[in-house]
Chains A and B, each alone.
Chain A
Amino acid sequence: MRVGLVCPYAWDVPGGVQQHVGDLAEALTDMGHEVSVLAPVGDAGGSPLPDYLVPAGRPVPVPYNGSVARLSFGPRAASRVRRWISEGGFDVLHIHEPSAPSVSLLACWAADGPLVATFHTSNPRSRAMAMGSPALRSAMEKINGRIAVSESARRTLVEHLGGDAVLIPNGVAVRRFARAEPLPGWPGGGGSIGFLGRLDEPRKGLGVLLEAFALMAPERPDLRVMVAGPGDPAAAMAAVPEHLRERVVLLGRLDDADKARAYHSADVFCAPNLGGESFGIVLTEAMASGAAIVASDIPAFSAVLDGGGAGELFATGDPAHLAERAGALLDDPGRRAELSRAARRAVRAYDWDTVAADVAHVYRTVLTGDGDGPPLGVRPDGGPNATALLRGEAP
Chain B
Amino acid sequence: MLFGFYLSWRARRIHRLHHRVDAARAALDAALDRRHAAVSALVEAGGTGAGRGLSEAVTAARDAGEEQCEMAESALSRALREALESSGSDGCSKLSGPRLNEVESAAKGVHMARTFYNDAVADTRRARRSRLVRLFRLTGTAALPDFFEIDDQPPSVLFLPVEPDTL
Q: Which residues of A contact B (CB under 8 A)?
A: 112, 138, 140-142, 144-146, 162-166, 174-175, 178, 290, 340-341, 344-346, 348-349, 358, 361-362, 365-366, 368-371, 383-384
Contacts and interface: CB of A to CB of B under 8 A. Distances in A.
A162 B122 contact: yes
Given A162-B123, A365-B31, A369-B26, A141 B167 contact: no
A145 B122 contact: no
Contacts of B27: 365-366, 368-369
A324 to B, nearest CB: 28
Given A341-B164, A345-B159, A365-B31, A144 B20 contact: yes
A175 to B, nearest CB: 7
Contact of A163 (B13, B28, B118, B164): B118
A141 B124 CA distance: 8
A135 to B, nearest CB: 11
B102 to A, nearest CB: 12
Specify which of B12, B112, B116, B122 lies most central, judged by the most chain A CB atoms within 10 Å of its CB.
B116
Nearest to A384: B9
A141 B116 contact: no
A26 B155 CA distance: 29
A362 B30 contact: no
Nearest to A357: B105
Contacts of B162: 345, 348
B101 to A, nearest CB: 11
B13 A361 contact: no
B11 to A, nearest CB: 11
Given A138-B13, A144-B20, A365-B31, A163 B122 contact: yes
25 contacts: A138-B13, A141-B123, A142-B20, A144-B23, A144-B116, A145-B116, A163-B118, A163-B122, A164-B115, A164-B122, A165-B115, A165-B119, A166-B112, A166-B116, A178-B167, A344-B164, A345-B161, A348-B159, A361-B108, A361-B112, A365-B113, A368-B27, A369-B22, A369-B28, A371-B23
A263 B112 CA distance: 36
A67 to B, nearest CB: 29
A368 B23 CA distance: 8
Contact of A369 (B30, B115, B119): B30
Interface of B: 9, 12-13, 16-17, 20, 22-28, 30-31, 105, 108-109, 111-113, 115-116, 118-120, 122-123, 126-127, 159, 161-162, 164, 167
A290 B20 CA distance: 45
A366 B116 contact: yes
Contacts of A142: 16, 20
B44 to A, nearest CB: 24
A298 B27 CA distance: 39
A112 to B, nearest CB: 8
A164 B12 CA distance: 23
A146 B16 CA distance: 17
B4 to A, nearest CB: 13
For chain B, what secondary structure do more than half of its interface residues adopt (helix, strand, loop), or is it mixed?
helix
A146 B126 CA distance: 17
A383 B14 CA distance: 13
B21 to A, nearest CB: 9
Nearest to B13: A138
A358 B116 contact: no
B13 to A, nearest CB: 6
Given A163-B118, A348-B162, A365-B116, A358 B16 contact: no
A370 B30 CA distance: 12
A33 B13 CA distance: 31
Given A144-B116, A365-B109, 17 more contacts: A141-B13, A141-B16, A141-B123, A144-B120, A146-B116, A163-B119, A163-B123, A166-B115, A340-B164, A348-B159, A361-B109, A362-B112, A368-B30, A369-B22, A369-B26, A369-B28, A383-B12
B161 A146 contact: no
A174 to B, nearest CB: 6
Interface-central residue, B25, B109, B167, by most chain A CB under 10 Å? B167
A284 B38 CA distance: 32
Contacts of A174: 167
A164 B27 CA distance: 17
Contacts of A371: 23
Contacts of B123: 140-141, 162-163
A361 B118 CA distance: 18
A344 B36 CA distance: 34
Most chain-B Cβ atoms within 10 A of its Cβ — which of A112, A162, A340? A162
A358 B23 contact: no
Given A141-B13, A383-B9, A344 B167 contact: yes
B16 A361 contact: no
Contacts of B25: 369
Contacts of A369: 22-28, 30
A112 B113 CA distance: 20
Contacts of B23: 144, 369-371
Nearest to A382: B12
